[in-house]
Structure 1
């Protein structure tokens, strides 16, 4: 891998800096070394997400979450040997160290394999009215509003195409002809696009009942058509498979500071007081991976929202997992979000 040195961090580096390095480099790993460059451990994208699931603060040093015994290669290893080991051990990256344990390189599975194409379908929800962005949406569906010089929905489509996905469905309702005229059959991007038309708004999950279920044989992405994100779609798909889930929901950490001192009591006895504590929650990020069997439970024409679909799966003792998103993410729901997207788009493309 070129520029692997940019992924080196020291043990006292914070998780916040590690996340920024992961997001910037796109290698899904940072390597922890000492002052002499000797390998101490690695922090992968998965390690960061597990830390977020535990609500560890971003001020935590990477030494507390790193994997201390990563599998390494020697500088004399051939690429064929590295590829064989990485595929056998299901590794996405492998540090290369010399006889003294000093980092001399980093190999990634992405670099040693040909570009892969994924047959998993992608379902983009683009049927909403976007009333909170009126008057911009008076004559334009919200997903077709331009951020920079491209519609939001086109930016989403291209992010999936860049990750290797080529089968798309788009749900439409409000001004559907504008979406169809712009995207056509997808050949402009080298992909296939089919359209699902909702005669009546069916909620965030109801359009699932209109899909050709016999054609959905692999886990499917479902994503709102008003999001900008750099989430790792391949990593999300791998996570879904590892969890053996019927559904995986992307989540974001949301912090809320109580503006008052919080008092804990036992009866009339005060046992503790915390001044303006910060509470942390996971909130729905509007991106899902759904196994094919989940679709069979959504009836055609039935209005239902995705949280209800997932709640029914949980009641049926089916596994629903969550995937914490640390990458860039912006829900363009309000006018101020739309303006923020215009300011930030140059850093995303």
Structure 2
């Protein structure tokens, strides 16, 4: 069996934050999203590969070298050109060869152990499922009906979900299923794992489910990104920074090296401050601030602010600010 982490999407729902950086390399606490997944693969003693695209290859190169992971790079550089997940799987298999595959979406954060997941794999397709507890929310995902642990119905993004149990982007596929990928694509079917599962079920393939509780985050929106940080950021990590004696840090936070917290500022809880940021006479909570951003005289709550921005004399709530933006309110 090989492990394939899918990290080739362009994450348009999180633009402009992800316009120039891949979503799996967004920080959650002091680690990247993909680091949490990679840590879970280490207990498996299996070869791990990351599927990405030409546009994001340079972002992943140093990370992959540091972690001893091989990249599979599809030749696409834009959202219009990209392969879908099934197309990317086909491309990866053409490079790596047929085998059983554990496939994990690279923007997935989940509570369960992959080792425990594979203990339930007996050579038949297995998917990880989670109860989102809300029919409206379930409409965004692949909805699963179970009989015991066997999948008896699967509907991708249905208008009227039959349950609130959804597929989470973790799949164990035997070699004979991987062999069907090209046939599926050649028939002109939609390039998406959910529709592939529907197609397999309609063709008589038996599917099984691994149900888990606790937490699961599909980092597809600012809200889910910030909620994931609240769940996973347990301890503060503070680099070499400058902090005023009149400022206060409320843990847990991550504050990277070179940051300056000046004047009467309050930072935290659940805050990520990137390298060389300046926070002056400002309150920042439940927010992610990327490198070299300057915030003065402002209150920031449940917001994500990209790198090299300048925010002055503002109150920002539930905001998403793209890189290099300069926003201020006059005195």
TM tier, smaller? 0.5 to 0.7
Q: After the TM superposition, which parts of structure 1 deviate over 3 Å for at least 4 consecutive aligned residues?
A: 212-218, 300-303
2 CA distance for matches of 1:287 and 1:333?
16
Quick one: which of 233, 238, 244 aligns to 1:346?
233
2:54–2:74 CA contact under 8 A, matched in 1: no
Provide the residue aligned with 2:104 in structure 1.
Answer: 223
Say whether 1:140 aligns with 2:17: no
Going from structure 1 to structure 2, the CA distance change for 1:222 and 1:316 (only over 3 Å counts) comes to same
Hey, what does 1:182 align to over in structure 2?
62
User: Scaled by the length of structure 1, what TM-score is found?
Assistant: 0.52
| Cα deviation digits, residues 129-157 of structure 1 (max 9, x gap) | 11121221121111111111222112211
Distance 1:144 1:218 in 2: 27
Q: Name the counterpart of 1:93.
A: none
1:348 CA drift (Å): 9.7
Deviations 1:5-26 (A, max 9, x none): xxxxxxxxxxxxxxxxxxxxxx
Q: Tell me the distance in 2 between the aligned counterparts of 1:239 and 1:211.
A: 25
Among 133, 145, 154, which residue is 1:255 paired with? 133
Which is richer in helix? 1
* TM-score for both structures, normalised by structure 2: 0.55
Q: Give yes or no for contact 2:129–2:212 (8 Å, CA) kept in 1.
A: yes
Q: Which has the higher contact order (CA 8 A, sep 6+)?
A: 1
- Long gaps (5+) in structure 2: 137-161, 237-331
Asked which structure has the greater CA Rg, the reply is: 1
Q: For the Cα contact (< 8 Å) 2:8–2:52, is it kept in 1?
A: yes
Quote the Cα distance in structure 2 between the aligned partners of 1:348 and 1:230: 18
Match of 1:19 in 2: none
Alpha-carbon distance, 1:227 to partner:
1.1
Task: Identify which of 167, 173, 184 aligns with 1:290.
Answer: 173
Write the deviation string for residues 258-305 of structure 1: whole angstroms up to 9, x where unpaired.
9xxxxxxxxxxxxxxxxxxxx852111111111111111122986621
**Larger fraction in strand:** 2
For residue 117 of structure 2, what is the aligned residue in structure 1?
Answer: 236
Q: Decide whether the 8 Å contact of 1:250 with 1:286 is kept in 2.
A: yes
Partner Cα distance (1:152, 1:305) in 2: 22
Per-residue displacement from partner, 1:308-330 (whole Å, max 9, x unpaired)? 22222222222111111214211
- Structure 2 residue aligned with 1:333: 220
Contact 1:226/1:331 (8 A) holds in 2: yes
- 1:184 and 1:136 map into 2 onto residues whose CA distance is 22
Seen in structure 2, the aligned counterparts of structure 1 residues 217 and 308 have a Cα distance that, compared at 3 Å, is same
Q: Which of the residues 304, 307, 324 maps onto 2:191?
A: 304
- Provide the C-alpha distance between the structure 1 equivalents of 2:57 and 2:69, rounded to a whole number of angstroms: 17
Looking at structure 2, the residues matched to 286 and 348 of structure 1 have their Cα atoms a distance apart, in angstroms, of 28
- Give the aligned partner of residue 200 of structure 2: 313
Say if 2:18 is the partner of 1:167. no
RMSD after superposition: 2.8
Q: Residues 136 and 322 (structure 1 numbering): CA distance in 2 closer, same or farther, change over 3 Å?
A: same
Over 3 Å counting, the alpha-carbon distance change for 1:319 and 1:215 in structure 2 is: same
Q: Can you give the 5+ residue segments of structure 1 that lack an aligned partner in the other structure?
A: 1-119, 259-278
Distance (Å, rounded) in 1 between the aligned partners of 2:231 and 2:58: 25
